[in-house]
Each structure stands twice: as C-alpha cells, then as structure tokens.
A and B are shown apart, each in its own frame.
Chain A
Amino acid sequence: MCYYNSIKVTLEEYNQLKELETVVAFLNEEFVIHKGFDYGDYPIIRPTGKGHETERVKMQWGFLPPHLRNSEDVKRFRNGYKDETGRYFKPYLTLNATSEELLNKMYKEAALKRRCLIPSIGFYEWMHVQVVGKSGKLLKTPEKFPYLVRMKDQEEFYMAGVWQPWFDAEAKMITNTFALITTVANSLMKQIHNSKERMPTILPGDLAEAWLYKDLSEQDILDIANYQVASQDMTATPLDKDFLKKENPNDRVVYKEVPELSYG
C-alpha cells in the first residue's frame, strides 16, 4: 500500500497516479501562460557541457544576485522596503535584463559564463491607448490593450537569457534563477509596447547556437543581446482585455479604439 493525498491506495494505482504527474508536467508547460511577476518556474535551455548537448531545466524566472542571503532579502530585493530610519529602497525588477546593461555589475558574470535560451510560442504585451471618456474628453489614464506576439514561420522560438544559481544560506538550498534579455523594440513592437518600446531578444538559429556554445567576447555578447528581429517576421493578435480568464485566451478581438498595426 502507498499513500496518495494521505489516502491509502494500491501500489498499482499509486504508480498510475505518479505516471499521470509526468503527463501533467508536460501539459502544464503547453497550456499555462507564465506571468513573470508570479516568480514561478519556467523551462529554459542550457548547455550540458558535453559537446553541443543541451538540456531543458526549470528555473525561477527572476534573476537573484548571489549577495542575497535568505528569502527575506529576496522579498526586500523584489518588493522594495524601508529601513529603520524610514529610508525607502526601491525594488529591483530582474525578470528582464536590458541588453545595454548586460555587462554591468549584476548580470556580467552570468552573461560571460551562464547564458541560456528561453523557449516560447508567444509573448504578451499591452498597447497603451488614450481613449475618449463619456464627457468627450481624453481620459488621463490610457487604456491597456493586450496583444499576443508570435513569430510568423516558427511555432517555437528562442529568446536570449542569463541564469544564476542563488544559495539561500538559511534554508541551505540552491535555486537556479534567470532573466530574459530585452532589446530596443522594432517598428512593430514600438506600436504595441508603446509605453517602454522594448521587446525580448529573439534569436535566429545561428545566433542562438552562438549564444549557448561559443566563447564570446564582451562585444559579441552585446551584439547578440542587442539583436533585433524584423517586424515582418512577427505577427501580433489583439486579445480580450480579460484574456487570462478566457476559455481560449489567444482568440483575436477587434477594438475600434486601437489603430491598425503596420508591419513595414
């Protein structure tokens, strides 16, 4: 007899339920939309160190530098805090690392030694649009319209990333964490992510390979990290504002307030 949910089941039944866990692990990766601010695990690709072999491993999305000692430090680092004197320390957002600052202090060692790829079938960004209110005047706060952005001829594509093992000195545990690299938005992404004008660094096959395996100089690293995929190779679909709650979150929605996108 074995226990499942602390209820005794037969060994055969237990084994079947454990096998279903493997299936669910696969299904979860296919169906779940990963939200960065959940700081959850996400599958990434890294070299195993044996020739050109790679492995997919789950790491926590949200780069943690080694100087953080425990989970309390992590909470302060990610959320910001006030010290005893009332001085406020701003939070660090390390879900993304901007390509321009990749060789600055926090990410430098990882960029030189621990580069990875983040597989994806699409990412979501919000267009900020000033809309006219009931009074006929422009509202102060822009409305946000979500878009799903995919690559035209590639179901799965790869984004550049860097990873960092983080040791929790209190729990005596290592957590592998990563940041996704962003670059300046191309003309399509400038229209969609118009608040920040950034986009993930999406790498074509040869650059993805170089990013993983090659002994790159600092200049090579910056060049690849700044790579900008062409607008014409992307496709963007406007989605329901509440798409995360929808049965089919990726269904196209047409908004009259939103201008047509130009791929040119």
Chain B
Amino acid sequence: MVTCNPGQPSVRILGEKFFIKFRGEEYCCQAIAANGRVLYQIRLDSSVLYITKTVNQHGIPFWTAIPQDLKLRRMVAELGRQLEDHLIQTLCATTTV
C-alpha cells in the first residue's frame, strides 16, 4: 500500500480532532476552513468523507457531501445531525452555512 502527498492545499485546520457516534461506531472528525467555509472531515475505515452545511433556494439548510453524492444523502444528513449535536454539547456552538 502507498500513501501520497502531492502538495499542500490552501486550507486551515480548525481546533482539535473529535469523535462522533454514528450507527454504533465512533468516527474521528476534523473541522477544516477552506475558501471561507467550514468543511468537516470524517475518517471512515480507509477513506475520508467531507461534508459541509449548505442552504437551498428557500434558505433552508442541509448537509451535503463534497463532492456531491446522491447515494450518501441520508447518511450525510444523519452525520451532520450528529456533528451538530456534538458541537452543541461540547462547545455550546452550532454550525453555520
């Protein structure tokens, strides 16, 4: 197996790593600032999922995977909810678009 580091992206790590519970398992998360937005990196077994909060045409927020993946919509919505619960409980903070 091989890992690769093809260059530094222009991003900033925000705060410490934390864990959220999802379907009985704990997953490691990291907030990352990129292009003036906050991305959440969720480390799965051997891959990484990135999610962010966005807003639809009516101003209603929803969570989406980056890049978009229709198959993951429900899972991402659930992960987003868990993430928000975690932030509210530990930091008394919430997420914004």
Contacts and interface: CB of A to CB of B under 8 A. Distances in A.
Interface of A: 1, 4-10, 13, 16-17, 19-21, 23-24, 26-36, 38, 42-43, 56, 118-124, 155-156, 159, 180, 200, 244-245, 247
A56 B6 contact: yes
27 contacts: A4-B64, A4-B68, A5-B73, A6-B70, A7-B64, A8-B57, A10-B57, A16-B37, A17-B52, A17-B54, A17-B64, A20-B37, A23-B11, A26-B9, A29-B4, A31-B48, A32-B3, A34-B4, A36-B1, A42-B4, A56-B6, A120-B5, A121-B5, A122-B3, A155-B5, A156-B5, A247-B19
Contacts of A118: 2, 4
A126 B18 CA distance: 29
Given A27-B32, A32-B47, A155-B5, A8 B66 contact: no
Interface of B: 1-11, 17, 19, 28, 32, 34-35, 37, 39, 41, 43, 45-48, 50, 52, 54-57, 62, 64-70, 73
A205 to B, nearest CB: 17
B50 to A, nearest CB: 5
